[in-house]
Structure 1
Amino acid sequence: MSEEKQQTFAKAETEQQQKQEGKTPNVVTAALVFFIAAVLVASLGIILFKYSAALLSILPILILIAILLFIAAKFEPLVKLKEYQRAVVFRFGKFNRVSGPGWFFIIPFIESYNIVDLRVQTVDIPPQEVITKGNIEVKVDAVIYMRVGSAEEDVVKSVVKVEDYKKAAQLYVGSTLRDIAGDLTLAELIANIDKINEKLKQKLQLVSQDWGVKVDAVEIKDIQIPKEVLDAMHAEKAAEQRKLARMEEAKAHMAEIQAVKEAAKGLDEKALLYYYIRALEKMSTGKATTIIFPLEVTKLASILSSAVGKATSQPKIEELILKEKDSIANLLGKKFAESLAEVAKEEKKTKKKKTKKKKSSRKR
């Protein structure tokens, strides 16, 4: 325990010494500062005592210089304007001149000035709640691009004729926008945004001429439509699209029917009836019990007419029968289709033989 106490006491003494060493520089610094201050005060006293008469003679000048320096620091009589800035200067409250760009001088306590920015100013119109002709409430957001004219007269008007031309333009466009939207339906409002923008610009330009302000553009940025109205519009548009799709489908179907009719004109009715009867004869020689009514000739004509309509050139009736064998089987039965195909093949062979005979007779 004695060793631990000795270590503790030694540590405490070390810390105390460090603190005293750390305080020593501070004491020296304070003493040095006090000495310098005392020397300066003593020197100033000697100067005042020795040159008091000379100082009293220039004291008014020193006081005047001090006052001028105070005024210069407080009121900034020398003002610098940038290229896009102008200053409307008032003397005793009355308009005196337009200064700038560059440096210009203001007489303190006598003259005051207002700085005017000639750059294009963007004035945002808060979303306006408007009710359209169809009693639909929407929010319309717009923006104005305007600037003060560069002519001296316009610069003066922007300060003298209106307190805040941006605020005035904002309120005017908001009220005008509500009036215009109230005379239009929602569809008309959306469809005629460009015309509304131009109308707002013209109306604002007429008013802002007295403010010395030029209006570059007024634009509607956004139209916020209630979700219920938007859903109804989408449903109406979808129904219209479905209606148009059905109309186009009907037109295509009519065109197809017309094409079949036109193609059917190319079929020889007598030849078709001949093949039909021959097929019935073949079926009657077999064991088939299927009965084909005369009305089926119309169906057969329809199948072959469709095939003619799809063909790039006018095919022969035998080729059509062989090509559309499966379609004929589905509609009139497999047995009838096979019999009709056999008749077509036989006729095809017969026609080939006749063609060969004609060619051989011509050679002779």
Structure 2
Amino acid sequence: MDPQGEAPKKNNTEHLVADRREGIGVCGWILVSLSFLLVLITFPISIWACIKVIREYERAVVFRLGRVLSKKAKGPGLILILPCTDTFVKVDLRTVTCNIPPQEILTKDAVTTQVDGVLYYRIHSAISAVANITDVHSATFLLAQSTLRKVLGTQSLAQLLSGREEIAHSVKVVAAEGEMNASKTLKQASIVLSESPAGLQLRYLQTLTTLAAENNSTIVFPLPINMLESLGQKNKKG
């Protein structure tokens, strides 16, 4: 995941990390002190449980009492993890390669063709990859797949055959922009559907049409949404 710039990347990381002036509170410091005291009492046996080895291509995002411990991921080398209060997540910084399966697209000149691709990406910010998204690998793959269809749909067949490097650059730029705007788009779509009951029902009918076209063995019993809402209200009153 290539960053758009150092400033946005820095702001996102700082937003994730708790303000160091607030700290973890009095109770938090008591728990950390007790955990550190436990390490000293059980030394040197405890050292085997507290010392973790982080490889050269890995980084560790350490959480202390649920908070990110520092603005920078730990590693490589040896890191100290306190028992009971600290947890950590390893992040692989190596380049990941995955195949985008063939998919049908309609080109600008109305030609239906099948295209596939190979996706290369790597994680630059371990903290953002862990704290900002549930599954960074799945999200990146789905974003690249949808972006490929979007970009190729604006090209003619001749452009697809001759301009592979330009298309790859366009996919990279659009994917980076989509990553920033995806959450805003989903929020706007939810607001529109919530304010328009008719639009929500049309979306419901469109979903039924898709199911009927793709899964002919599936039996769908459509029910009006108003009926479901009335049943829910009756259950609450009962």
TM-score between both structures, scaled by the size of structure 2: 0.50
Distance 1:208 1:198, change over 3 A: same
In the other structure, the counterpart of 2:62 is 89
Deviation at 1:175, TM superposition (A): 1.1
Aligned partner of residue 142 in structure 1, secondary structure: strand
CA RMSD of aligned residues (A): 2.7
In the other structure, the counterpart of 1:125 is 100
Match of 1:114 among 89, 94, 98: 89
What amino acid maps onto 1:183 in structure 2?
T
Residues in 1 aligned to 2:164 and 2:74: alpha-carbon distance in whole angstroms = 41
Deviation at 1:174, TM superposition (A): 1.2
Aligned partner of residue 174 in structure 1, secondary structure: helix
What amino acid maps onto 1:107 in structure 2?
L
In the other structure, the counterpart of 2:117 is 142
Residues in 1 aligned to 2:180 and 2:96: alpha-carbon distance in whole angstroms = 16
Aligned partner of residue 127 in structure 1, secondary structure: strand
Aligned partner of residue 203 in structure 1, secondary structure: helix
2:151/2:170 contact within 8 Å kept: no
In the other structure, the counterpart of 2:211 is none
1:119/1:148 contact within 8 Å kept: yes
Deviation at 1:207, TM superposition (A): 4.8
Residues in 1 aligned to 2:178 and 2:105: alpha-carbon distance in whole angstroms = 22
What amino acid maps onto 1:83 in structure 2?
E
Residues in 1 aligned to 2:178 and 2:69: alpha-carbon distance in whole angstroms = 26
The C-alpha deviation readout for 1:146-182, integer Å capped at 9, x for no partner, is 2222xxxx22112111222222221112112112222
Residues in 1 aligned to 2:105 and 2:47: alpha-carbon distance in whole angstroms = 53
Structure 1 unpaired stretches of 5+: 1-63, 211-364
Q: Would you say 1:79 and 2:63 are equivalent positions?
A: no
Distance 1:164 1:138, change over 3 A: same
Aligned partner of residue 115 in structure 2, secondary structure: strand
Deviation at 1:72, TM superposition (A): 7.7
Deviation at 1:126, TM superposition (A): 2.2
Deviation at 1:127, TM superposition (A): 2.0
Q: Would you say 1:165 and 2:136 are equivalent positions?
A: yes
Residues in 2 aligned to 1:200 and 1:171: alpha-carbon distance in whole angstroms = 13
What amino acid maps onto 1:117 in structure 2?
D
Deviation at 1:139, TM superposition (A): 2.0
TM-score between both structures, scaled by the size of structure 1: 0.34
The C-alpha deviation readout for 1:44-75, integer Å capped at 9, x for no partner, is xxxxxxxxxxxxxxxxxxxx86xx96x888xx
Q: How many residues are paired up?
A: 138
Identity value in percent: 33
2:57/2:93 contact within 8 Å kept: yes
Deviation at 1:187, TM superposition (A): 2.3
Residues in 1 aligned to 2:163 and 2:68: alpha-carbon distance in whole angstroms = 45
1:128/1:174 contact within 8 Å kept: no
In the other structure, the counterpart of 2:30 is none
